[in-house]
Every structure is written in structure tokens, then in C-alpha cells.
């Protein structure tokens, strides 16, 4: 019998509590012994609920109990999560977390404490919810030179974009519907501005590089400026608009970026809709592999949390490399990276030769939107694009195209 504690009884913490209870026999079979939640830490009371029996309000009850081998952190946010997690590691307990902010911001420090204490700090649930991605990257693609990771890493924005595509609605209307259906928060900035996806791609980039990639260095653009007209052009082209979080190598540089991108049907991410997430990984040997599933939600995320707990219990007293070194990997400025752009400009087909002169030979796209015309540029650097755009009148929109 192994005892664990859960810190934070919100969406994911209560999901983890459910998983332990509902799948007791499965976990016992896979772990070789029974798992029990000895404590749940929360500031709230839950009168009459099963959790009441194990509820504690003082974190030191957990820290001081030598019977607790693994602590699950599902509070979210930086504090007090960081203080509690560090304390647990220093007390010789392994920690499993779903907290992407904590991992992206404080991962290096916490991994170092885990190593020094010969315990583990696992965070498989911090990216992609229930989708296995962190461990496969570390353990199943370890013979590949991974040159690109692109993901739909935020379910809220994917739901909104899918709605806009299917129903022709505006961003504002789709956001409101997502909020009404519980798929978006009342304060939606973290999702719709791309901040959530940014932290997740920082984690994946760090794993792939084996070095610390700072999320604050990643160019991040959300979906708030995407309009129903943009989708007219996407439909005309037969493409989709997705919020992609990408990290890639190009001529010795490492780039990372979060932005809305036009995705072609031959890309497996094209068909990933609604709240689903997916991560497309390209290796020089394995080619493309994709991991798909629910990137959020109580039980899906808790499934990943509890799988990490099983691993942590199996490796008590043995620190497993499951992160990155403290060395920082600098990202190159995206201005040198190259791609195609779709622009929408005021006017009509008569602008073709002007646009070709400024951006290079591309393709006019007429999506039957009154008073404007689209133009698909050739592949050019972000810098060259910006220079040409600065000299062009009446640009209404620009969206990158996924190669």
C-alpha cells in the first residue's frame, strides 16, 4: 500500500481523486500494489463529500508525514504551488504536477532539487492533458533528430476556431458560446491570447532541446484578430485556420512561435477540431508522428497525472531524467525564419502587379469578400515580409501558412 497526497481539489485534483478510487484495481495491477490518497489539501471544506475524510488545510501535515511518498500538485499558478512543491521535494517526496506555468517558469530549479534529493519531478499532464507526449518524446523518440514540433495545444481556441469555421460566426460570438458551454473562462486572455499554448510549447521545446527554453522569449500571437472574412479565404483555399504552437530548427537556428496559421489538408493537424488537441512531431528518421486527444478536462488530465504517480512510485529512490538541463537555449529572432503569408488588402484584382512587385510572385485569392482581395505570397522571411507590408497600403490582415 502506497500513500499519496493531492494538493488542490479543483478540476484536476478532484479528477485525480476519482481516478484513484474508480480505477483502484487497474492501478493495483499496473503498479503491483495498492494506491491510496491519504490527504487532500484545499482551503475549502467539502461537507458530505467523500473527500471530506482526507481533507487537510495545513500543508505541513503532508510534508511531515513520512508515509506519503508522492505528492500531486494540481493547484495551478505559481504560488503557493512553487513553495509547496519545493518543500515536498526537499522533504524527499516525489512530485507530480499538471501545472504548466510552474514547469515553464520554475522547472529548472525544481528538477535540480529533485535530482539532489534523489526523487522525481514529473509533469506529463502539463502539456496536452491526457495525451501522452512528454514521455514518448523522452523515451520513444530518443534516436531521432527532432526538427519540428507543432501543436494544437489549447482546446478553448480550437473550439472557437472550429465554430467560426463551421458556422461563419465572429470571434466574439464564438467566444461567448464557448464561455456559455464551459469551454472558455470568463477571463479568457490566457487562452485566446495564446499565453497557455506559449507555456506548453516552451516545455516541449525544452524537452526536445534538452536545454531550458524560456517561454518569455517566444513570439506569441492569439486569435482575437481572426475574423469570419479570414475563414472565407481559408474555405476558398480549402485550408483550415488553427492556433499552432510550433518549435523548429531552421539552418542551425531554433525558433518557437505561437500564432494563427493556415493549415493544409495534407497536414494531420488539419482535421483536429473542437476541444481536441494534437501534437505533430517530425524526426529525421521517424518522419511525422502525431499524438491526439483531449488536451484538457478533469478526468483526461487526471489520467496523465495518475500515470505519472504510478511511474513515480515504481521509481522511488531513483531520479529519472525527465526534463532538461539548466543551460539556456536561446531562441533566434523569428525575423529570419521563412514562410508563406496570406494577406487581405483593400481593392481588387487590379492590385496584382503591385503586390507581386512588393512581395514577389504569388497568387491572388478571390474569396468574394466585397472591397478586398487576398494575396498568397511566395516563401519569404518574416523580415522581408514586414518590410514589404510596411510599404503596402490597405492591408487588412496577414496570416502565416504552415509549410
Task: Report the interface residues with a second copy, using CB under 8 A.
Answer: 15, 18-19, 22-23, 26-27, 29-31, 124, 130-132, 135-136, 139-145, 210, 268, 271, 283-294, 297, 299-300, 302-304, 306-307, 309-311
CA distance 386 to 225: 18
**In this structure, are residues 8 and 37 in contact, taking their beta carbons and an 8 Å threshold?**
no
**In this structure, are residues 153 and 200 in contact, taking their beta carbons and an 8 Å threshold?**
yes
Shortest Cβ 33–a second copy spacing (Å): 13
Question: Which letter does DSSP use for residue 379 in this model?
Answer: S
CA distance 120 to 316: 8
Our CB check for a second copy shows the closer of 4 and 198 to be 4
- Sequence length of the chain is 403
**In this structure, are residues 7 and 309 in contact, taking their beta carbons and an 8 Å threshold?**
no
Please indicate whether residue 211 is annotated as part of the active site.
no
CA distance 250 to 127: 24
Nearest 5°: CA angle at 206, between 203 and 207? 90
User: E strands, 295-368, where?
Assistant: 338-346, 363-365
Shortest Cβ 40–a second copy spacing (Å): 17
Our CB check for a second copy shows the closer of 129 and 194 to be 129
Shortest Cβ 139–a second copy spacing (Å): 6
**In this structure, are residues 60 and 66 in contact, taking their beta carbons and an 8 Å threshold?**
no
Shortest Cβ 215–a second copy spacing (Å): 23
Shortest Cβ 135–a second copy spacing (Å): 5
Shortest Cβ 82–a second copy spacing (Å): 25
Phi, psi (deg, nearest 5) at residue 372: -150, 170
**In this structure, are residues 244 and 259 in contact, taking their beta carbons and an 8 Å threshold?**
yes
Shortest Cβ 105–a second copy spacing (Å): 24
Q: Where are the alpha helices (DSSP H) in 334-398?
A: 352-359, 382-390
CA distance 355 to 363: 9
**In this structure, are residues 203 and 209 in contact, taking their beta carbons and an 8 Å threshold?**
no
Per residue, the 3-state secondary structure of 259-281, as one string, reads: EEEEECCCCHHHHCCCCEEEEEE
Catalytic residue, chosen from 38, 100, 163, 200, is: 200
CA distance 384 to 342: 14
Shortest Cβ 130–a second copy spacing (Å): 4
Written as one string, the DSSP assignment of 36-73 is EEEEEE-SS--TTSGGGGGEES-HHHHHT-TTEEEEEE
CA distance 264 to 335: 23
Which positions are annotated as active-site residues? 200
Amino acid at each position: 500500500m502506497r500513500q499519496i497526497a493531492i494538493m488542490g481539489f479543483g478540476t484536476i485534483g478532484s479528477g485525480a481523486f476519482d481516478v484513484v478510487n474508480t480505477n483502484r484495481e487497474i492501478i493495483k495491477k499496473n503498479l503491483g500494489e495498492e494506491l491510496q490518497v491519504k490527504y487532500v489539501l484545499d482551503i475549502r471544506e467539502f461537507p458530505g463529500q467523500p473527500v471530506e475524510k482526507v481533507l487537510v488545510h495545513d500543508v505541513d501535515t503532508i510534508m511531515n508525514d513520512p508515509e506519503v511518498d508522492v505528492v500531486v500538485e494540481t493547484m495551478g499558478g505559481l504560488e503557493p504551488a512553487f513553495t509547496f512543491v519545493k518543500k515536498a521535494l526537499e522533504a524527499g517526496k516525489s512530485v507530480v504536477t499538471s501545472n504548466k506555468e510552474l514547469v515553464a517558469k520554475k522547472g529548472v530549479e525544481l528538477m535540480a532539487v529533485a535530482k539532489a534529493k534523489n526523487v522525481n519531478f514529473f509533469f506529463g499532464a502539463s502539456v496536452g492533458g491526457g495525451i501522452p507526449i512528454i514521455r514518448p518524446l523522452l523515451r520513444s523518440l530518443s534516436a531521432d533528430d527532432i526538427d519540428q514540433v507543432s501543436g494544437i495545444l489549447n482546446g478553448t481556441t480550437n473550439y472557437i476556431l472550429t465554430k467560426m469555421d463551421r458556422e461563419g460566426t465572429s470571434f466574439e460570438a464564438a467566444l461567448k458560446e464557448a464561455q456559455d458551454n464551459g469551454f472558455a473562462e470568463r477571463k479568457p486572455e490566457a487562452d485566446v491570447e495564446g499565453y497557455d499554448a506559449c507555456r506548453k510549447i516552451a516545455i516541449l521545446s525544452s524537452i526536445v532541446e534538452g536545454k531550458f527554453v524560456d517561454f518569455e522569449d517566444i513570439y506569441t500571437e492569439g486569435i482575437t484578430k481572426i475574423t469570419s472574412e479570414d475563414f472565407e479565404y481559408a474555405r476558398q483555399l480549402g485550408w483550415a485556420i488553427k492556433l499552432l504552437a510550433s518549435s523548429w530548427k531552421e539552418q542551425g537556428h531554433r525558433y518557437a512561435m505561437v500564432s494563427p496559421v493556415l493549415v493544409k489538408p495534407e497536414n494531420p493537424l488539419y482535421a483536429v477540431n473542437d476541444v481536441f488537441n494534437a501534437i505533430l512531431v517530425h524526426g529525421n528518421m521517424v518522419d511525422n508522428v502525431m499524438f491526439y486527444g483531449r488536451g484538457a478536462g478533469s478526468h483526461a488530465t487526471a489520467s496523465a497525472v495518475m500515470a505519472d504517480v504510478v511511474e513515480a512510485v515504481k521509481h522511488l529512490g531513483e531520479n529519472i531524467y525527465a526534463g532538461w538541463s539548466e543551460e539556456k537555449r536561446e531562441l533566434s529572432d523569428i525575423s529570419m525564419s521563412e514562410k508563406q503569408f496570406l494577406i487581405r488588402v483593400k481593392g481588387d484584382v487590379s492590385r496584382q502587379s503591385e503586390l507581386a512587385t512588393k512581395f514577389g510572385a504569388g497568387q491572388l485569392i478571390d474569396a468574394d469578400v466585397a472591397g478586398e482581395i487576398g494575396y498568397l505570397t511566395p516563401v519569404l522571411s518574416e523580415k522581408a515580409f514586414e518590410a514589404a507590408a510596411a510599404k503596402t497600403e490597405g492591408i487588412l490582415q496577414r496570416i502565416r501558412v504552415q509549410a
